[in-house]
Amino acid sequence: MVAITDPDLNQALEHFEHMVEAVERYRATLICRRERYQAEGRDPRTYAGVLASNLRRIERLQQELDGEAFDLLRHVLDGSGTLGSADEGRWI
């Protein structure tokens, strides 16, 4: 396998990985917040709708990141590997 040597592509990959991790942490934060509000006896009318909406949005974002966005990034990485092999005079 050819290493990804383009700094911009490496940075894009790192940012993608960080985004996936950050979105999951935010999802966990929302769930903890909902549990805390329930334990505090807060009126669900003040928070439940907003939390549920954000959890649905996060789920949709995670599906996109795990689906088409990941596939496109993988294809870009594959293409850069092919180009790297061509630069080295090899063909995959």
What is the rounded average pLDDT of the residues 4-9? 84
Domain boundaries, the chain: 21-81
Measure the CA–CA gap between 59 and 54, rounded to whole angstroms: 8
pLDDT at 8 > cutoff 50: yes
What is the rounded average pLDDT of the residues 22-41? 97
The CB density around residue 63, as the number of other CB atoms within 10 Å, is 11
Query: Percent of the chain scored above 90 by pLDDT?
Result: 67
Between 2 and 79, whose confidence is greater? 79
pLDDT in the model for residue 6: 84
